[in-house]
A and B are shown apart, each in its own frame.
Chain A
Amino acid sequence: MLQDFRAEVRQWLEANCPASMRTPTMEEEEVWGGRKEQFKNPESKVWLERMAAKGWTAPEWPKAYGGGGLKPQEALILKEEMQRLGCRPPLLSFGIWMLGPVLLQYGTEEQKKKHLPEIVQGKVRWCQGYSEPAAGSDLASLQTRAELVGDQFIINGSKVWTSYADSSDWIFCLVRTDPNAGKQQGISFMLIDMNQPGVKAEPIRLISGASPFCEVFFSDAKTSKDNLIGPLNGGWQIAKALLTHERQAISEINKKASELPLEIQAKHKLPTRNGQLADEHFRQRLAAWHMDNTAFEWTLEREMSLQKAGHSPGAASSMFKLYGTELNKRKYELMMEVSGFQSLIWEGAGDEKDRQATRDWLRSKGNSIEGGTSEIQLNVIAKRVLGLP
């Protein structure tokens, strides 16, 4: 059965994946969908449409909502076959990684019917409105207000660190709907169309230069009460469920397929003696990082295998977020040392790739802050896994 499926998938991919979609994705050719998507490479549009028609942009979602309706083993086969052929992901999407799983769990039939197919097809691009200027790690202290007036919520306030808000169509948001209830009790989860006069998105410049992060301002923005997900004032539970998906997404995003392995870069750029890096102290630290990185990848594999056997993912995602982002920071520190003077150049001389590495190094410092800081992850592990009071 599964063998037949594999053969079928392989054949379909061979026939339908355009040639340029079988090469590693360049950042400027990434496809995130939505109304503002420009498809810099026209074949990426063809690839998205073909995959979306089969529901394979969201392979495990039910067919009724446009998904592929695949069983987990089948989805794994699809992933393996795509890797084998070197296929690019047809669509990168917060809708698929974060909102979709939450809608499937908490949405009404109408909400699922309305939003999920558009996510699968990449027609609507979503962003996530969680953090606020005064609510970072203490997310539940958020202040953006939504008041129900007739059939509509009126929203006022602002969100920060909203990735890609300026190129998104809709935003899923945590808002305060009861200012008098306890912190966690007065929060609701709702969906807001960004294409309206009351919503404004402004990009934030980081230490690494331009960034996908934005601030989002709501002034008397409106959304129908049908866009409330789950119960009124019951958004905190949904937020927590979504955060687990976000953490897993972050540990995936950090992988850069196009980078040369660090040890190869090091051997190109640093002095060697008898084929080994001559700086023994650096070599030892590189080995330690390499070992931890391999250990981490195996742990992801092992956890996936446990989850298939029915282990719940909950707290494991905190460990992966913590360990993965700290490893990423260590990697870029080593990479900067490998590049030496080259890594110091911001603009002008040198080649583009080295300048990107420097920006990536600076950007990596945010990995252990976004999506719950490392310290928050340590709190979660201590309380939920270790049962400390």
Chain B
Amino acid sequence: MMNWDMTDEEKLLKVSAANFFREKMPINHLRRIRDTNDPLGFPREAWQDMASLGWTGILIDEDHGGLNFGFRGLGLILEAAGRQLAATPLLSTVAGASRLLQKNANLEQKETLLPAIAAGETIIALAHDEGQHHGQDISTHATLQGGKYVIQGRKSLVLDAALADQILVLARTDQGLGWFLVPHKTQGLQWEHFRLIDGRPAAHLSLQRVEVPASARIGTMKDATASYEDLRNACAVGLATEMLGAATAAFEMTLAYLKERKQFGVAIGTFQALQHRMANLYCELEVSRSVVQRALAALDEDHAKTTVFASLAKGKLNDVMHAVATESIQLHGGIGMTDEHNIGFFLKRSRINNELFGSASFHRDRYAKALEF
């Protein structure tokens, strides 16, 4: 049986993460990014602040300047971020890249990259998906020519695209899949920038004969299918954790509104039809918390069933966050449809997060495969 209780250190981290996002990055921060057409989508100073708290190095071992506090710790930060809909590079750079590098990079790559991530100097974007859905076949390819890799292909929906210093590109090689670290300024990278429905920037990337040295390939020449699976697990769980925070916040906003909004001379929260909908969502949020906590711990344990647990967490949170977000609009009534009210951002974020790192049916399929049915 896993340890469900929080350690004292975890309790402290939870409080400081909640304070940080409430003060520095409340939901209105996202609104401002959208309204000012902020091209980066995230302030570099805030990344520095997170680095000085140790958060950017939370998965990195102590020899490379990190805290080695694990996913249970990172989860507390991501949940707090999710509550404020703060879209930080923690998902790409920390949950994704830092774990991938820690587990797969060679000594030299670790020496250069891990301390830079921990210090907040390097932000890494992930360029893995292609086509319109997560999990489609990778057709971007990298060919070894005269000691250099030449990468050719097209990547969809890269988050933190304008902000990142380096891009981690997944490509097919003669020896299976490989990860390549490509500096943002490399010749041949063509960006197509756009805004997501919640106002955040992102971009498609096309790679036109992009040349990188052989040393840009992460780790050895071996096939990266397993490390891709691990990255998908880590990011799916990280995202599910943010979604748990966001769904909980939307639920609480809606609950408060039901107690305050009066119609027919009474608070609308007195109506049983509405009470039962909230009580059902409450139960769903409680079981969601369990799957998220279990999956976070599994990543730290390198549990044999990590894929099962990760797909359970992301699959469940896709459904639950979407249910909470859509019900929240309905229960807010007309005001919930206005741009002025923040509740609409939760619905938009829910749709985005449902597509990133796998939809609900994608994860049900993956879960069933892992359990062989």
Contacts and interface: CB of A to CB of B under 8 A. Distances in A.
Interface of A: 263, 266-267, 275-277, 283-284, 286-288, 290-292, 294-296, 298-299, 301-302, 305-306, 309, 319, 322-323, 375, 377-379, 381-383, 385-389
Of B3, B275, B361, which is in contact with the most chain A CB atoms at under 10 Å from its CB?
B275
A287 B364 contact: yes
Contact of B367 (A290, A319, A382): A290
B291 A298 contact: yes
Contacts of B290: 295, 298-299, 301-302
Interface string B349-373: 0000000000001001101110111
A299 B287 contact: yes
A294 B312 contact: yes
A295 B275 CA distance: 23
A292 B364 CA distance: 11
24 contacts: A263-B373, A267-B373, A276-B368, A277-B373, A283-B364, A284-B361, A284-B364, A287-B365, A291-B316, A295-B288, A296-B287, A298-B290, A298-B294, A301-B4, A319-B286, A378-B275, A378-B279, A379-B279, A381-B279, A385-B282, A386-B255, A388-B255, A388-B259, A388-B269
B315 interface: yes
Contacts of B258: 388
A382 B278 contact: yes
Interface of B: 1-5, 255, 258-259, 266-267, 269-270, 272, 275-276, 278-280, 282-283, 286-291, 293-294, 312, 315-316, 361, 364-365, 367-369, 371-373
A37 to B, nearest CB: 34
Nearest to A383: B275
A381 B285 CA distance: 13
A305 B369 CA distance: 31
A381 B275 CA distance: 9
A323 B371 contact: no
A276 B369 contact: yes
A39 B293 CA distance: 44
Contacts of A322: 283
Of A267, A287, A309, A386, which is in contact with the most chain B CB atoms at under 10 Å from its CB?
A287
Contacts of A287: 315, 364-365, 367-368, 373
Given A287-B373, A302-B4, A389-B267, 17 more contacts: A263-B372, A275-B372, A283-B368, A287-B364, A291-B316, A292-B287, A294-B291, A295-B288, A299-B287, A299-B289, A301-B290, A305-B3, A309-B5, A378-B280, A379-B279, A382-B276, A385-B282
Contacts of B361: 284
Contacts of A383: 275
Contact of B4 (A286, A305, A386): A305
A38 B148 CA distance: 82
A272 B171 CA distance: 33
Say what secondary structure dominates the interface of chain A: helix
Contacts of A309: 5
A55 B373 CA distance: 44
Given A291-B367, A299-B290, A323-B283, A389 B269 contact: yes
A388 B373 contact: no
Contact of B278 (A266, A294, A296, A388): A388
Contacts of A385: 279, 282
Nearest to A320: B283
A292 B283 CA distance: 11
Contacts of B365: 283-284, 287
A291 B1 CA distance: 18
Contacts of A276: 368-369, 373
B276 A291 contact: no
B345 to A, nearest CB: 23
Nearest to B366: A287
A132 to B, nearest CB: 24
Contact of B364 (A291, A295, A375): A291
B276 to A, nearest CB: 4
A263 B372 CA distance: 9
Contacts of B255: 386, 388
Nearest to B287: A295
Contacts of A277: 368, 373
A292 B3 CA distance: 20
B131 to A, nearest CB: 20
B371 A290 contact: yes
Nearest to B288: A295
A319 B364 CA distance: 24
B144 to A, nearest CB: 34
B316 A381 contact: no
Nearest to B311: A291
Given A276-B369, A388-B278, A291 B5 contact: no
- Which 3 A-B residue pairs are closest in the complex by CB-CB distance? A382-B275, A381-B279, A287-B364
A275 B373 CA distance: 7
A290 B373 CA distance: 11
B357 to A, nearest CB: 16
B364 A299 contact: no
A290 B98 CA distance: 32
Contacts of A319: 282-283, 286
